[in-house]
Structure 1
Amino acid sequence: MATIGRGCKLDSKLISALIESWRPETYTFYLPCGECTITLEDEQLQLRLPVDGSTLTRLI
Structure 2
Amino acid sequence: MPAPKQFVNGKWVHGGAAQQHIIKKNGGWDQHHEELIETAIKDFAKEQVSQMNEKAKKPRLKRAK
Same fold (TM over 0.5): no
Q: TM-score range with shorter-chain normalisation? A: under 0.3
Give the TM-score, by structure 2 length: 0.25
RCO comparison, higher one (Cα < 8 Å, 6+):
1
Which structure carries more helix by proportion?
2
TM-score after normalising by structure 1: 0.27
